[in-house]
Structure 1
Amino acid sequence: MIGMKREDNLSEKSIQYVKGVGEQRAKLFRSLGVETVLDMLYFFPRDYEDRSRIVSIAQCREGETVCIRARAEVNPREQRIRKNFSMFRCAVSDATGMLPVLIFNQKYMAAKLERGQEYLFYGKITRSGREKQMTVTEIESSNQESKLCGRIVPKYHLVSGLTGKICMSIIRNCLSITEGQLEDVFSPEFRERYQLCEINFALEQIHFPKDAHSLALAKRRLAFEELFLLSTGLRMLRGNRQNVTVTPFLNTDCISEFTATLPYELTEAQQRVVREILTDLKQPRVMNRLVQGDVGSGKTAVAACAVFIAAKSGFQSVMMAPTEILARQHYASFQQFFAPFPEITCVLLTGKMKKKEKTAALEAARNGVSLIIGTHAVLSEELQISNLGLVITDEQHRFGVRQRAALAHGQETNMLVMTATPIPRTLALTLYGDLDLSVIDQLPPGRQVIKTYGVGEHMHDRTYNFLKKELDRGRQAYIICPLVDPSDVLEAEAVTEYAEKLQNRELANYHVGLLHGKLKEKDQIMEQFSTGELQVLISTTVVEVGVNVPNATVMIVENAERFGLSQLHQLRGRVGRGSFQSYCILICRSNSEIAHQRMEIMSKTNDGFVLAQKDMELRGIGEFFGTRQHGVPELKVANLFTDSGLIQSASNASSLVLSKDPDLSQKEHFYLKERIRRFFSYESKELVFN
């Protein structure tokens, strides 16, 4: 389209050279992830302040923050309160009455006022004795175009050195650069079909809404755009994978040989998921499946079924764990699983292995060992696998799209992703749209419900008296000591100091172990706890994922308010793995309403899916997953809970577009393809498009 400005140009134009920025402010904006003009346009407000309703002085109520149009009756008088701090006082009036206004320590603002002139005043109504007054935060002449009063005003996440006024001024300058001619990724016909406003209107109104309706239109358009780009990109990634052919697994019928050796019967949910996996593996197309299961639902046994079939079909498997402790535990579990089958062999590969052990593991991989289990070390180019058929990643929310691809070492192979982070199905399909979804929604019979209690700091002594009773009965316990600062050095110091304090007082007569991220002997400590040599394990969050000690019956979490619900649920899942009644005690040192809500929810339910839903509602999706940890772009406008209708609409639109042009090769979709690449970031574009 003639005269349209492409995003390509704006994505290359540095923010530094926009009027009002310069080198120093450019550095501040870079710290916020804003480097180009396009970044600035998509640097959306975190919130809005509605100053659009102008009230009369008579309508002002104490405690309200309002906007009034009034005339200055006198010039402001300065009153020095203390050194370097002044208050300016002025009486203003409208047709309904008189009101004193106060301006604190802002001489430049007071200097705007001239007796007899009319202005817009924005501030909070307070009371001094029997008299109402306004503490002013903004003043504008009523004769000029309103920028901060009498309208909806955006609020941005900023850093020291940047103000809302500065940010708004720079965004206005960026909008003037586009001249309202930014190319729209959606055609007029498309916008009409899905009732979307045009992109230039949306970007202007998201920053400077003229009214609530215009803001709603802008939000809807930009949220739809995010969801459409996300859905289309993931569908293309999934489509690319489904078009890839692999050698099918031929011996899937022998799975009963393996399940017959298990000391328990698989639940119906486990059996269903195993069938779904085997159906995939029998096909000549590559499998990409996400298996969701709550804590203790038996995901490892399901993974073992897949590895067994791979081995029986002549293929090798790789399993990647997020921590060395969990990798070693998986290694022990799989050796036990396959003990009745000497032909199925396992090897462990981690970054901290001795050179001799690592060399032997790499040699075994080259020679056809059935299963390689490890940490990030399995991403090493040194690892050469002769006949890779299956890759399993544990706790997928810790590894993104790129890591999953790197695991395959350039080979097209079947991918099985296991996660203990329960996510509502519709949300999982959005976040992991490149994967098929299986859910283990049933726990093995006989598992006792873990009794959970949220207590205040005043219950500390009672909590530890209860702990000692459990220890005297021969049980074991975890104590989690979270930290404000994630620094390794501070972590070691803080948890060590806390452990010494307990060992010298409450737990003086018990065998106590210490576990933190910096400790070199953490595997040895974990082994001592697993064998019962240690009665209590004091840790940061190292035990959050996967560790299995059936004799552990007590989980105490200090400063539980510092964790989200899902993380607390993962920690709680470390106990209750044996036949004994287990307990989780959450010691909360916060009086905030959200903290108390979390403790109450944890006490009432053991359902991980319910907790995940509540966690995301309380903390927001970004904090729940962490920035881009799940391997898809961050959503700035769309809300994956409240925008369910928009999600469905965007998904339908994406499906329709790709049904007509699966790889977006048609000329009319060239810009859309570029936009998706940019949305997923340039680092991952090769994964979205071949």
Structure 2
Amino acid sequence: MIDLTSPVDCLKGVGKARSSRLARLEIETVEDLLHFYPRRYEDRRAISKLSEISPDSVCSSIVKVISVDSRVSSRKKMILTEAMVSDGTALVSAIWFNSRNLANLLAPGRSLGLHGRVSYKGGLRQFVNPEVEVLWEDRPPRQMGCIVAVYALTAGLSDQWMRTTVDHVLRDFLCAVDDPIPESIRSELGLIDLRLAIETMHRPPSPEAWRDARKRLAFDELFTLQLGLATVRSRRDKVVGAPALPCNGPLRSSLERALPFALSSDQSRVLDEIGGDMASDVPMNRLLQGDVGSGKTAVALLAMMQAVDGGAQAALMVPTSVLAQQHGSRIESMLSPYGVRVETLIGGLPQGERRSLLEDISSGDVNVVIGTHALIQEDVSFKKLGLVVIDEQHRFGVLQRVAIGTKGVPHVLVMTATPIPRTLALSVYGDLSVSVIRTMPKGRIPVKTRVIGEHKVDDLYGFMEKEIGRDRRVFWVCPIIEGSEHLDAGPLEDRFAALEARFGDKVGMIHGRMALSARQEVMRSFASGEKPILACTTVIEVGVDVPEATVMVVENAERFGLSQLHQLRGRVGRGSEQAWCFLLGKPKTTEGVQRLEALCRSSDGFAVAEADMAIRGPGEICGVRQHGITDFKVADLIRDVELLETARERAFRLVEEDRDLSSFPSLRDAVLRRYGRKLGIATTA
């Protein structure tokens, strides 16, 4: 018995060879084949008379075979199959290259549908390598006179074969598809039947019918995700046991008074939101968005002091060791006068030092721990973890956020300097409360951004010379460390040599392959001005804070994503002086040009993120593609904003009424199958 869960090689005409090719397209079961939707369509509803077709046009015609000739080309040793065909209005030829056994189908007198490009050959119009469908009196055409699907395929599979195979699957297995969406929701939103939607996506009778089918399937994808997020949030809201940490304790109040600047209205509002959450025994799960340099770290630091005031510990998790060390030394210098012990936990510590540090964390002797993902390893335990701050959440997996729950019941604050478009935030962080810092600190001057070509490098060197002469700093970012014959990109080692030749010992170099101690020394010499030019990779992308840095040069800028370029630009302009970002490169694609133009146009991170999502798609912005959160087959987070809002509202309402979806078993199974592991709800009680 074959059913929807059966492997595709059980289907007639598939076999082992084709099933391995289908596996490259992530098609492994019969159900996968049903949901492998076309990437585009060809409208073949207009059937052209042969007397009316013109060269260099693409058309469809219904013809009869007059004669067939198959031969081997003497020049290129390929099989040529040529047929003379007619529809009663004209005689034309059709030719195919290397189509073995095709001549057996093209018997004189047989009716065919032809679709393809027409050219002139010897004064006669000719179809060149057209798609051919044999027509039978008792069956309507399936690939002529209709809208035809075109699939994104791999080598060894043809559209014609895929259409035929999908037709068989639709005929034999579509009836087994269960519609998980409650009829009340389908009726309320005017959504068509799921089986009809699937069939219409593969064989749309009209553009209008296709739009109805697409809406239904896009809603299903968005609704399923929102149900998963609503389930996560609902289960968290039922959890108690987090430490209730009162606001305005002595440490937090003292630190706020000692800050060298007054908090902005946005920072104060966000701190009130966070403080209110942390004062409850229901664990906080909040996303803090703020552009580069907007003051998120100060907010996080005050929130951590609220935890310490309440007799709990705080942890700050960052994506790189360099950033952990930088935060560690700065935060320790700020908090040690108040008797707060701050330690840094990263990979690569000597075993004895690590063991001693873990004991002190476990005993509660350490108040604040700063580290990388090493913080959530099994051997790390806290006496009383009150707050976890995750900086640059997009660098961590969704499941790593879930893993925080193994360290007790802490409050969780997720921070990102990559401003996230609203639709993406609802799709990736929809289980979190959201706080946003929109305003920048007073006196911050927007960074001026310019695109320059390689021919301007000497002028750029001269500009850099003036800047370092005024005790300022320069970042020069390269996409790769060393040269490669496979990559057309400027290597860091070559640029470092060129900068050294011009500026001598004023140049330092840093990249991810260097030992941690070496990186720390380079960063120290850069910050102090001993080596005011830093040639580097994107290891400095987040968190590096040198107020004297006024110039950012990004080599081969077209190779970077827009949000990443905005992050790099955020490393300069953090003081009171005018700063510059020079994008060095020559984009070879329209997309590359659009990215650089968008960055030059705006310094608003939210506008940049919207443009980035429109150009590249959501998964590239915040690194969620690898986790499968936004990998939709049909839905589009740019064009389906209203549908997403509708799906979210219905999903959260449904989970509020039925937390475990026990009244909707098919819907619950669909959510768990798609997102159970990814959202950590598969085995959660």
Q: Same fold (TM over 0.5)?
A: yes
Is 1:549–1:577's contact at 8 Å kept on the other side of the alignment?
yes
Aligned partner (choices 362, 368, 387) of residue 366 of structure 1: 362
| More divergent stretch after superposition (266-275 vs 140-149) | 140-149
Q: Which residue of 1 aligns with 2:37?
A: 44
Distance 1:139 1:585, change over 3 A: same
Match of 1:323 in 2: 320
Q: Deviations over 1:74-106 (max 9, x none)?
A: 535768373234655555444665555443443
Residue in structure 2 matched with residue 15 of structure 1 by the alignment: 8
For residues 535 and 324 of structure 1, what CA distance do their matches in structure 2 show? 22
Specify which of 392, 395, 398 is matched with residue 395 of structure 1: 392
**Deviation (angstroms), 1:472:** 4.1
- The whole-number CA distance in structure 1 between the counterparts of 2:64 and 2:166 is 31
Alignment counterpart, residue 30 of structure 1, candidates 9, 23, 32: 23
| Residue in structure 2 matched with residue 639 of structure 1 by the alignment | 636
Contact 2:464 2:551 in 1 (8 A): yes
Counterpart mapping for 1:257-406 below 5 A: 257-342=254-339, 344-368=340-364, 369-406=366-403
Q: 1:525 to 1:652 in 2, by over 3 A?
A: same
CA spacing shift, 1:362–1:621, aligned 2, 3 Å: same
Equivalent runs, 1:57-76 vs 2, <5 Å: 57=50, 60=53, 63-72=56-65, 74-75=67-68
Q: Give the Cα–Cα distance (whole angstroms) in 2 for the partners of residues 456 and 664 of structure 1.
A: 58
Q: Which moved more, 1:23-32 or 1:374-383?
A: 23-32
Secondary structure (helix, strand or coil) at the match of 1:509 reads helix
Q: Quote the Cα distance in structure 2 between the aligned partners of 1:561 and 1:499.
A: 17
Between Structure 1 and Structure 2, how many residues are aligned? 677
Residues 411-422 of structure 1 mapped to structure 2, 5 A cutoff: 411-422=408-419
Alignment of 1:156-171 (within 5 A): 156-171=151-166
Shift of 1:618: 0.8
1:611 alignment counterpart:
608
TM-score by length of 1: 0.90
Deviation for aligned residue 1:508:
5.2
Q: Say if 2:116 is the partner of 1:120.
A: no
Q: Which amino acid aligns with 1:262?
A: L
- C-alpha contact 1:237 1:687 (8 A) present in aligned 2: no
**Is residue 193 of structure 1 aligned with residue 177 of structure 2?**
no
Q: Which moved more, 1:396-405 or 1:323-332?
A: 396-405
| Aligned residue in 2 for 1:653 | 650
Which residue matches 1:249? 245
Q: Residue 210 of structure 2 aligns with which residue?
A: 215
Q: Is the 8 A contact 1:293 1:441 kept in 2?
A: yes
Query: Once the 2 structures are TM-superposed, how far is the Cα of residue 244 of structure 1 from its aligned partner?
Result: 1.1
Q: Which amino acid aligns with 2:636?
A: N
Kindly state the Cα deviation for residue 599 of structure 1 after the two structures are TM-superposed.
1.5
Residues in 1 aligned to 2:587 and 2:494: alpha-carbon distance in whole angstroms: 19
Which residue, out of 596, 610, 629, partners 2:593? 596
Give, in angstroms, the shift of residue 164 of structure 1: 3.2
CA distance in 2, matches of 1:276, 1:241: 18
The match for 2:424 is 427
Per-residue deviation, 1:115: 4.7
Moved more, 134-143 or 167-176: 167-176
Contact kept? 1:18, 1:173, Cα under 8 Å: no
Return the letter of the residue paired with 1:54: I
Amino acid at match of 1:355: Q
Verify the 8 A CA contact 2:424 2:618 in the aligned structure 1.
no
Distance 2:123 2:542 in 1: 61
Q: Equivalent residue for 2:565?
A: 568
Q: Secondary structure at the match of 1:252?
A: coil
Distance 1:595 1:108 in 2: 45
Offset of residue 574 of structure 1? 1.2
Partner of 1:495: 491
Q: Give the C-alpha shift of residue 315 in structure 1.
A: 1.0
- For 2:117 and 2:456, the matched residues in 1 are separated by 42
Distance 1:166 1:444, change over 3 A: same
Counterpart residue identity of residue 558, structure 1: E
Is the Cα contact below 8 Å between 2:481 and 2:493 reproduced in 1?
A: no
TM-score, normalised with respect to structure 2: 0.90
> 1: CA distance between counterparts of 2:551 and 2:41?
46
1:467–1:125 distance in 2 versus 1, CA, 3 Å: farther
- Residue deviations 1:450-487, cap 9 Å, x none? 11111234434433443344344443222222249999
Cα offset, 1:72, TM superposition: 4.4
CA pair 504-375 structure 1, distance change in 2 beyond 3 A: closer
In the alignment, the residues of structure 2 paired with residue 622 and residue 300 of structure 1 have an alpha-carbon distance, to the nearest angstrom, of: 26
Q: Is the 8 A contact 1:349 1:375 kept in 2?
A: yes
Amino acid paired to 2:653: L
Gaps of 5+ in 2: none
AA aligned to 2:173 is T
Instruction: Evaluate the alpha carbon distance shift between residue 504 and residue 447 of structure 1 in structure 2; reply closer, same or farther with a 3 A threshold.
Output: closer
Following the alignment from structure 1 to structure 2, what is the Cα–Cα distance between the partners of residues 366 and 190? 50
Assess, with a 3 A threshold, how the Cα gap between structure 1 residues 547 and 123 changes in structure 2: closer, same or farther: same
- Alpha-carbon distance between aligned partners in 2 of 1:451 and 1:73, rounded to the nearest angstrom: 71
Are 2:189 and 1:155 equivalent residues in the alignment? no
CA distance in structure 2 between the aligned counterparts of 1:197 and 1:32, rounded to whole angstroms = 27
* Partner SS, residue 138 of structure 1: strand
Cα distance change on mapping 1:411 and 1:121 into 2, 3 Å: same
How do 1:467-486 and structure 2 match up within 5 A? 467-483=464-480
Q: Distance in 2 between matches of 1:129 and 1:551?
A: 74
Q: Which shifted more, 87-96 or 158-167?
A: 87-96
CA 1:98–1:529: 2 relative to 1, 3 Å: farther
Confirm whether residue 548 of structure 1 aligns to residue 545 of structure 2: yes
C-alpha contact 2:481 2:492 (8 A) present in aligned 1: no
**Pairwise CA distance, 1:568:** 0.8
CA distance change for structure 1 residues 376 and 511 in 2, over 3 Å: closer, same or farther? same
- Higher mean alpha-carbon deviation, 266-275 vs 184-193, is at 184-193
Q: What amino acid maps onto 2:555 in structure 1?
A: E
Which sits farther off after the overlay, 657-666 or 226-235? 657-666
Once residues 273 and 450 of structure 1 are traced to their aligned partners in structure 2, the CA distance between those partners, rounded to angstroms, is: 26
Q: What is the CA-CA distance between 1:163 and the residue it aligns to?
A: 3.5
- SS state at 2:73 partner: strand
1:291 aligns to what SS in structure 2? strand
- Seen in structure 2, the aligned counterparts of structure 1 residues 113 and 458 have a Cα distance that, compared at 3 Å, is farther
Change (3 A) 1:662 1:297: same
Q: Matched residues in 2 for 1:606 and 1:132: separation? A: 57
The Cα offsets for residues 22-62 of structure 1, whole Å up to 9 and x where unpaired, read as: 33443333343333333333333333333343334466466
- Select 2:229's aligned residue among 234, 251, 254: 234
CA distance in 1, matches of 2:636, 2:77: 45
Indicate if the aligned counterparts of 2:500 and 2:506 stay in contact, CA closer than 8 A: no
The question of whether the paired residues in 1 share the 8 Å contact of 2:342 and 2:368 is answered with yes
- For residues 358-397 of structure 1, give each alpha carbon's deviation from its aligned partner in whole angstroms, at most 9, with x where no partner exists: 1232122123222111011111122110011111111111
- Write the letter of the residue equivalent to 1:519: M
Q: Which moved more, 1:51-60 or 1:469-478?
A: 51-60
1:357 partner letter: E
Please point out which of 660, 665, 670 is paired with 2:662: 665
Partners of 1:685 and 1:218 in 2: how far apart?
31
